[in-house]
Amino acid sequence: MKENKRQRIHNLIGVGKKHDLDWVLCMLPENIFYFSGFRTMFYTRFIGVLIPVREERQPVLIAPFIDRCLVEDDIWSPHWLEETVIWGPGVQFKHKDPLEVLSEYLSPSVRLGVDAIQYDFYEQLSKTFDGLQVVNLQDEILEIRMVKSEDEIKLIKKAFALTEEVISCVPELLQKPMTEKELAAELNHAALKAGAEDNFYPTLVSAGSKMLAFHSPPLSRPIKDNEMIRVACGLQIDGYGSDVVRHFCKGQPPAELLRLKDGYFEALAVIFEMLRPGISSTELIRAVEKVYRKRECLENWGYSVGHGLALTIHEPPKIVSDDQTVLRENMVLAIEPILACPPHGAFAHCDGVRITADGAEWLSTGLRDLVII
C-alpha cells in the first residue's frame, strides 16, 4: 500500500479512536474508493470497507459475488487492500450474505462507526449484534478527504483540462440549428472520444429563462438566437472529476445579463486574489457582497461562492453565508458566485481552483468570457 493510501486509513483510525470505536464500516461508493481503491458500476448489493480501530489487523474489502472478478483481477480499478471477502450464493462462497461476513469480525456490544446506513440494514445489524452502538462519521470522513494528495490533484487537473477541451467545441457546434439535448449529446460523445472515463455529472444545457433551474437537464428545446446558453460539464478521470460552466449566445445577449456579467467577473477576480490558506469562507462571502452591492446586483445573488469537489460534485467546503471553513493548502474548489437574472436566465460561470501554499492556482482558464457566436 502506498504511503498516502496508508495515511488515509491511519487518519480514519484516529477518528475512530476519538469516538472510542471498535470498527469503522464505509458503505458510500466514494468512501469505499477513497479507502480501498475499489470501484464497480453498480452498488445495488452490499459492498463495504471494514476498518479495525482497536485491533492490529488489516482493513477488509467486502464485496458481492457479482464483483468477484473486479476484486480479484486487475480489470479496471484495482484495490490496494490485502484482505478481501466475497459473499454470495453457492457452495464456493463461505458467506452467503454480508451479515455472515460481518459476524466473522464484529461481536455483541460493538461500537461501529459508519458513513451511511439504511434503516433496514441497521435493524438487521441490531438483531445480529446485541448491544450494537452506531456512530455517524460522515462529516469527519469528509474532513479527511477535504485536503487532497498530489496524486488526487493530478487526476483532478486532467479532468479539468479534458473538460475544457470538450467544452471548447461548443461555438463550432452551434453554427448549425440545434436543441439543448442535441448539444449535450455531441459534448458527451466528444468527451468519451477524448478519453473521459465518464461524465462526472450529467451534462447540463439550458437556454434563456430555463437557466434559472440550475440543475435542469437538457431538453428537446431549440436553441434560439439572442438567447443566452449555459453549458455545465464535468468529466471524470480515474474517479476524480471537474466542474466547468460556460456561457454562449447566438446573436445579441440581453443587456441586463451583460451588466451582471461584468460584476460577476469583478467578483471572480476579487475572490482569486484572496484565495490562500487561512482565509475563511466568511471573508470570501463578505468580499463578494461588497462587489455586488457596489454593482447594484446584490439582490441577484444567493450568498454562495462555491464548493469543494473531487470524488463527488458537491463536497465540503460549501462556501455559503453560514459556513465557517478556513481554507487549507491543497483544497480544490469550484468557484461560482452565481447571479440570477429573471426572466433572461443567469450568469453562473464556474472555474476550478487549487489552494496553494501562498495563494491559488486556476484549474480552468479557457473561454473566460461570454462567447458570442
Domain boundaries, the chain: 3-145, 150-372
* Predicted pLDDT of residue 168: 97
* Predicted pLDDT of residue 3: 72
Residue 34 has phi, psi (to 5 degrees) of -65, -40
Kindly list the strands in the beta sheet with 332-335, ordered across the sheet, starting from the edge strand earlier in the chain: 315-320, 304-308, 332-335, 351-355, 360-362
Strand positions, DSSP E, the chain: 23-26, 48-52, 60-64, 83-87, 111-114, 133-136, 198-207, 228-237, 240-241, 244-249, 304-308, 315-320, 332-335, 339-341, 345-347, 351-355, 360-362, 371-372
Fold type of domain 3-145: Creatine Amidinohydrolase; Chain A, domain 1 (3.40.350)
* Predicted pLDDT of residue 52: 98
* Predicted pLDDT of residue 232: 98
* Predicted pLDDT of residue 1: 62
For residue 182 the three cell numbers come to 442535441
* Predicted pLDDT of residue 2: 72
CB neighbours (10 Å) of residue 20? 12
* Predicted pLDDT of residue 4: 83
Mean pLDDT for back-to-back runs of 10 residues, the chain (373 residues)? 86 98 98 98 97 95 97 94 96 95 97 97 97 98 97 97 98 96 98 97 96 94 94 98 96 91 96 98 97 97 97 96 94 97 91 98 94 94
Q: How far apart are CA 26 and CA 116, in angstroms?
A: 7
Q: Does domain 150-372 have CATH number 3.40.50.300?
A: no
CB neighbours (10 Å) of residue 213? 11
User: Residue type at 176?
Assistant: K
CB 152 within 8 A of CB 34: no
Residue 3 has phi, psi (to 5 degrees) of -60, -40
Helix 3-18, helix 29-36: angle, nearest 10:
120
